[in-house]
Chains A and B, each alone.
Chain A
Amino acid sequence: MFESLQESLGSALRSLRGRGKLTEANMREGLRSVQTALLEADVSFQAVKDFMARVSEQAVGETVLRSLNPTQQLVGIVHQELINLMGPVDHSLHLKPPLSILMLCGLQGSGKTTTCGKLGRMLIERGKKPMLVAADLQRPAAITQLEVLGQNIGIPVHAEYESKDPVAVCRRAVDAAKKAEVDVVILDTAGRLHVDEELMQQLSTIERRVQPDQVYFVVDSMTGQDAVNSAQAFNEALELDGVILTKLDGDARGGAALSVKAVTGVPIKFIGTGEHLDSLEEFHPDRMAGRILGMGDILSLVEQAQEKFDREEMQAQEERLRKGEFTLDDFRKQLKQIKKLGPMQKVLSMLPGMGQMQDLMANMDAEGDMRRLGGVIDSMTPDEKRNPKLIDQSRRRRIAAGSGVEPHEVNELVKQYDGMADIMKRMAGLGMRDRMKAVQQLSQQAAANPMGRLGVKKQGTGKRLTPKERAKLKKEREKELRKRKRDKKDKK
Chain B
Amino acid sequence: MGIFDKFKQGLKKTTQLLNTDIRDLFKSEGRLVDDEFLDQLFERLIKTDMGVRSAQETVDTVRTAFRGRVVQLSEVLEEFKKKLKALMAQPAEPIRFAAGGPTVIMVCGVNGCGKTTTIAKLAKLFSDSGKKVVLGAADTFRAAAVEQLTVWAGRLGAEIVTGDQGSDPASVAHRAVAKALEIGADVCIVDTAGRLQTQHNLMQELSKIHRVIGKQIPEAPHEVILVLDATTGQNGISQAQHFTEAVRCTGIILAKLDGTAKGGVVVAIRQSVGLPVKYVGVGEQADDLALFEPDPFVDALFDEVGRKK
**Considering the chains assembled together, what is the distance between the CA atoms of A41 and B230 in angstroms?**
16
Instruction: Tell me whether B171 is interfacial, beta carbon within 8 Å.
Output: no
Beta-carbon contacts under 8 Å, B273-288 to A: 284
Instruction: Tell me whether A141 is interfacial, beta carbon within 8 Å.
Output: yes
By the criterion CB–CB under 8 Å, are A141 and B47 in contact? Answer: no
By the criterion CB–CB under 8 Å, are A148 and B144 in contact? Answer: yes
Instruction: Tell me whether B293 is interfacial, beta carbon within 8 Å.
Output: no
By the criterion CB–CB under 8 Å, are A251 and B235 in contact? Answer: yes
Checking A40, A193, A230, A275 against B234 with a beta-carbon cut-off of 8 angstroms, the contacting residue is: A40
Checking A39, A40, A108, A194 against B260 with a beta-carbon cut-off of 8 angstroms, the contacting residue is: A194
Q: Which residues of B contact A230 (CB under 8 A)?
A: 231, 259-260
Q: Which residues of B contact A214 (CB under 8 A)?
A: none
By the criterion CB–CB under 8 Å, are B112 and A45 in contact? Answer: no
Q: B10 to chain A: closest CB distance in Å?
A: 9
Q: Which residues of B contact A256 (CB under 8 A)?
A: 233
By the criterion CB–CB under 8 Å, are B143 and A148 in contact? Answer: yes
**Considering the chains assembled together, what is the distance between the CA atoms of A193 and B260 in angstroms?**
9
Q: Which residues of B contact A23 (CB under 8 A)?
A: none
Checking A36, A45, A140, A193 against B151 with a beta-carbon cut-off of 8 angstroms, the contacting residue is: A140
By the criterion CB–CB under 8 Å, are A40 and B196 in contact? Answer: no
Residue of B nearest to A38 (CB): B52
Q: What string of 1s and 0s marks CB contacts (under 8 Å) between A81-114 and chain B? A: 0000000000000000000000000011111000
Pick from B14-22, B57-65, B97-105, B212-220 the stretch touching chain A.
B14-22
Q: What's the interface size class on B, roughly? A: 35 or more
Instruction: Tell me whether B135 is interfacial, beta carbon within 8 Å.
Output: no
Q: Which residues of A contact B142 (CB under 8 A)?
A: 145, 275
Instruction: Tell me whether B261 is interfacial, beta carbon within 8 Å.
Output: yes
Instruction: Tell me whether A138 is interfacial, beta carbon within 8 Å.
Output: yes
By the criterion CB–CB under 8 Å, are B284 and A141 in contact? Answer: no
By the criterion CB–CB under 8 Å, are B198 and A250 in contact? Answer: yes
Checking B143, B196, B233, B258 against A225 with a beta-carbon cut-off of 8 angstroms, the contacting residue is: B233
Instruction: Tell me whether B124 is interfacial, beta carbon within 8 Å.
Output: no
By the criterion CB–CB under 8 Å, are A141 and B147 in contact? Answer: yes
Residue of B nearest to A221 (CB): B235
Asked if A39 meets B46 with Cβ closer than 8 Å, knowing A109-B229, A140-B147, A251-B198, the reply is: yes
Q: B11 to chain A: closest CB distance in Å?
A: 9
Instruction: Tell me whether B152 is interfacial, beta carbon within 8 Å.
Output: yes
Q: What string of 1s and 0s marks CB contacts (under 8 Å) between A108-148 and chain B? A: 11110000000000000000000000000011111011111
By the criterion CB–CB under 8 Å, are A251 and B233 in contact? Answer: no
Instruction: Tell me whether A318 is interfacial, beta carbon within 8 Å.
Output: no
By the criterion CB–CB under 8 Å, are A225 and B111 in contact? Answer: no
Beta-carbon contacts under 8 Å, A195-246 to B: 195-197, 220, 222-227, 229-230, 233
By the criterion CB–CB under 8 Å, are A224 and B234 in contact? Answer: yes
Beta-carbon contacts under 8 Å, B196-235 to A: 196-199, 229-235
By the criterion CB–CB under 8 Å, are A229 and B144 in contact? Answer: no
Instruction: Tell me whether A291 is interfacial, beta carbon within 8 Å.
Output: no
Residue of B nearest to A41 (CB): B234
Q: Which residues of B contact A225 (CB under 8 A)?
A: 46-49, 233, 261-262
Asked if A42 meets B198 with Cβ closer than 8 Å, knowing A140-B152, A145-B144, A195-B14, the reply is: no
Instruction: Tell me whether B265 is interfacial, beta carbon within 8 Å.
Output: yes
Instruction: Tell me whether B256 is interfacial, beta carbon within 8 Å.
Output: yes
Q: Which residues of A contact B43 (CB under 8 A)?
A: 45
**Considering the chains assembled together, what is the distance between the CA atoms of A386 and B150 in angstroms?**
78
By the criterion CB–CB under 8 Å, are A224 and B260 in contact? Answer: no
By the criterion CB–CB under 8 Å, are B232 and A222 in contact? Answer: yes
By the criterion CB–CB under 8 Å, are B232 and A223 in contact? Answer: yes
Q: Which residues of A contact B234 (CB under 8 A)?
A: 40-42, 224, 253
By the criterion CB–CB under 8 Å, are A226 and B235 in contact? Answer: no
Instruction: Tell me whether A462 is interfacial, beta carbon within 8 Å.
Output: no
**Considering the chains assembled together, what is the distance between the CA atoms of A227 and B197 in angstroms?**
21
Asked if A107 meets B259 with Cβ closer than 8 Å, knowing A195-B13, A220-B112, A220-B229, the reply is: yes
Q: Which residues of A contact B108 (CB under 8 A)?
A: none
B contact patch SS? loop
By the criterion CB–CB under 8 Å, are A250 and B152 in contact? Answer: no
Chain A residues within 8 Å of chain B by Cβ, number: 49
By the criterion CB–CB under 8 Å, are B112 and A251 in contact? Answer: no
Checking B113, B144, B259 against A195 with a beta-carbon cut-off of 8 angstroms, the contacting residue is: B259
Asked if A138 meets B52 with Cβ closer than 8 Å, knowing A39-B46, A194-B259, the reply is: no
Beta-carbon contacts under 8 Å, A10-62 to B: 36, 39-42, 45
Q: Which residues of A contact B259 (CB under 8 A)?
A: 107, 193-195, 226, 229-230
Checking A39, A193, A220, A252 against B258 with a beta-carbon cut-off of 8 angstroms, the contacting residue is: A193
Q: A203 to chain B: closest CB distance in Å?
A: 16
Residue of A nearest to B238 (CB): A251
**Considering the chains assembled together, what is the distance between the CA atoms of A275 and B111 in angstroms?**
9
Instruction: Tell me whether B114 is interfacial, beta carbon within 8 Å.
Output: yes
By the criterion CB–CB under 8 Å, are A40 and B52 in contact? Answer: yes
Q: Which residues of A contact B74 (CB under 8 A)?
A: none
Instruction: Tell me whether B167 is interfacial, beta carbon within 8 Å.
Output: no
Q: What string of 1s and 0s marks CB contacts (under 8 Å) between B127-154 and chain A? A: 0000000000000011111011011100
By the criterion CB–CB under 8 Å, are B148 and A108 in contact? Answer: no
By the criterion CB–CB under 8 Å, are A36 and B52 in contact? Answer: yes
Instruction: Tell me whether A249 is interfacial, beta carbon within 8 Å.
Output: yes
Instruction: Tell me whether B51 is interfacial, beta carbon within 8 Å.
Output: yes
Checking A138, A195, A224, A227 against B284 with a beta-carbon cut-off of 8 angstroms, the contacting residue is: A138
Q: Which residues of A contact B14 (CB under 8 A)?
A: 195
Beta-carbon contacts under 8 Å, B43-83 to A: 43, 46-49, 51-53
By the criterion CB–CB under 8 Å, are B16 and A233 in contact? Answer: yes
Instruction: Tell me whether A257 is interfacial, beta carbon within 8 Å.
Output: no
Q: What string of 1s and 0s marks CB contacts (under 8 Å) between B7-44 and chain A? A: 00000011111000000000000000000000000010
Asked if A224 meets B49 with Cβ closer than 8 Å, knowing A139-B148, A145-B143, A148-B143, the reply is: yes
Asked if A45 meets B47 with Cβ closer than 8 Å, knowing A141-B147, A223-B232, the reply is: yes
Instruction: Tell me whether A261 is interfacial, beta carbon within 8 Å.
Output: no
By the criterion CB–CB under 8 Å, are B235 and A196 in contact? Answer: no
Given A148-B165, A224-B236, A226-B259: 15 more A-B contacts, CB < 8 Å: A1-B272, A42-B49, A110-B112, A111-B112, A141-B145, A141-B150, A145-B142, A145-B144, A195-B14, A222-B236, A229-B16, A229-B17, A233-B16, A250-B235, A251-B197
The 5 A-B pairs of least Cβ separation, nearest first, read A224-B233, A109-B112, A42-B233, A140-B151, A250-B196
- 9 CB contacts below 8 A, A to B, read A40-B234, A109-B111, A147-B144, A148-B143, A152-B143, A193-B256, A223-B233, A226-B230, A229-B260
